[in-house]
DNA sequence: AAATCATATACCCTAATCGGAATATTGCAA
DNA sequence: TTGCAATATTCCGATTAGGGTATATGATTT
């Protein structure tokens, strides 16, 4: 096996900085491919390929209008990333949350019973 | 060029599901490698390698204790992901935010001037 | 010192990326 | 129809991940 395909996941699709940039741009509204080519300063085929990946994971949708293809953000597919990373909020938030988090962690350690990390008796 | 190294970024490091699992586990507290091996059901070398990637991007820290190496979450390094993905919150939130977002988007479109997506006059 | 436990590293392999350049496709225009 | 504009697809080359397996390192105990 090799690395997970970029098209397997929003996580993998979004690991590429250019694709994040594309999503950032599309957050402002629908755009045709050539807009992205110009703004990002990339070659057109690469942009099309990036859009293909984003489309494959459902992060964007396409609509044909005149000779152009208008790409639109489908932000729902970013939710899994948000949901996952949100679970770590307590760790970096403010001091208040840090205290709360510490309490929760202690409780969890107690609840999950003894394991290899246990200090000596 | 090939794909961005997994060690280049928190985004890339976290694209691998196993590594996310490891971080999830470490959220409950420090753990030695063998704990992760047992819990994840992976081979020990693979776990060590995943931990190596996580360490390379600063998502975990290590501390040697007795014969073991205790890995600890360093959640701060997840913040960039959180910050990025947070910018898309308005899109999937509740209806209230959706209205607000629409207004913002319209304003932005107006502000950023004419472009190729413009409808006919 | 030897054996052992815990972990890290090295090697081989296959699959898949991304960029570049060329070319194919599709729709509209003259 | 011929041509052009916008976009997609294909082929190439270099790089690298990640699993598997074997082995090395390092600390601990006997």
Model confidence pLDDT, tens digit, residues B55-71: 999 999 999 999 999 99
Interface test with A, best of B1, B53, B88 (most A CBs within 10 A): B88
Given this model, what pLDDT does residue A2 score?
82
Given this model, what pLDDT does residue B101 score?
60
CB A27 within 8 A of CB B88: yes
Measured CA angle at B85 (ends A53, A14), to 5 deg: 20
Q: What's A16's DSSP letter?
A: S
Q: What's A14's DSSP letter?
A: T
Contact residues on chain A for B23, CB-CB shorter than 8 A: 88
Per residue in A77-114, pLDDT tens?
999 999 999 999 999 766 566 566 566 666 655 555 44
Interface of B with A (CB under 8 A): 3-4, 6, 9, 11-12, 14-17, 20, 23-24, 27-32, 34-35, 68, 70, 73, 75-76, 78-79, 81-82, 84-89, 91-92, 105, 108-109, 112, 115-117
Going from the N-terminus, what domains does chain B have, and what CATH number goes with each?
Answer: 7-74 (1.10.10.10), 79-111 (no CATH)
């Amino acid at each position: 096996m090799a690395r997970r395909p970029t098209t397997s996941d929003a996580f993998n699709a979004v690991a590429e900085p250019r694709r994040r940039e594309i999503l950032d741009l599309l957050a402002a509204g629908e755009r045709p491919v050539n807009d992205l080519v110009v703004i990002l300063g990339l070659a057109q085929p690469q942009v099309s390929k990036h859009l293909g990946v984003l489309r494959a994971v459902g992060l964007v949708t396409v609509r044909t209008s005149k000779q152009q293809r208008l790409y639109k953000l489908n932000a729902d597919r970013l939710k899994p990333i948000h949901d996952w990373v949100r679970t770590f909020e307590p760790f970096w938030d403010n001091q208040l949350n840090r205290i709360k988090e510490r309490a929760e962690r202690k409780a969890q350690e107690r609840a999950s019973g003894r394991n290899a990390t246990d200090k000596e008796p």
